[in-house]
Amino acid sequence: MLNNPLIIDELTKLFVALIVGAVIGAEREYKSKAAGFRTVILITVGSTLFTMISNLISNDGRIASNIVTGIGFLGAGAIFREGMNVKGLTTATTIWISAAIGMAIGIGKYEFALAALVIVMIVLLSFTWIQKLIERTNKIETYTISFIKSNEFDFDELLKFIEKQNLNVSISKKIKTQSMHTGIFSIQGSKHNHENLTKALYETEYIIEFEV
């Protein structure tokens, strides 16, 4: 049975999918992402297997095309909202590209799979410093700031106070209680200016509490 060249070829595809998934998954696991080592391996091997089955049953690609839909639902589960920020997009796209690589392996296009693997690892590993550089020069954070309103300090004064730190600010929500006022702000600027703002908020007597 194992001497059958067709069987050997199909088993090779699954083994290659295992290795590729392990390489991508190891990087995700190292960074403690939702889709880690085992998850990415199973996605890559599963996509390869579905593509192989699709080729055996029919060449019209209907089963393979449904992989994209299924992976879309799986990727959507990795995306979540935290305040005004959306998290998990890189993990979701990693799931998507892992499935695509698995499909390439499933049809025997090892050169495409290898090239895609190299590109994926370059993006995940080597481009991190570019992202950090961008965040140092321009970063958007969501601040929740509570203060006691008085004749000397209100929302307008708070906006001016933030802008003095060389930051761009917009207010998305205002909340009023009997004892204090709270605002949710989207603030954009360099990492250094965000740090200066945090320090200034600690030192301002009108600010009751804040969260970033």
Report the alpha-carbon distance of residue 105 to residue 92 in Å, rounded. 20
Alpha carbon distance 105, 38 (integer Å): 18
State pTM to two decimals.
Answer: 0.69
Residue by residue, pLDDT tens for the chain (212 residues) are 556 777 888 899 999 999 999 999 998 888 888 778 899 999 999 999 989 888 887 766 666 677 777 787 777 777 766 655 667 788 888 999 999 999 999 999 999 999 999 999 998 888 777 878 887 888 888 899 998 877 778 888 899 999 999 999 998 888 888 778 899 999 999 999 999 999 999 988 889 899 88
β pairing state of 207-211 and 181-189: unpaired
Closest of 118, 129, 206, 123 to residue 162, by C-alpha: 206
Chain-centroid distance, C-alpha 56: 35
Reported as type and span, the H/E element at residue 81 is strand 80-82
What is the distance between the alpha carbons of residues 40 and 96, in angstroms, rounded to a whole number?
10
Domains, in order of start, for the chain: 5-126 (no CATH), 137-211 (3.30.70.260)
Amino acid 117 reads L
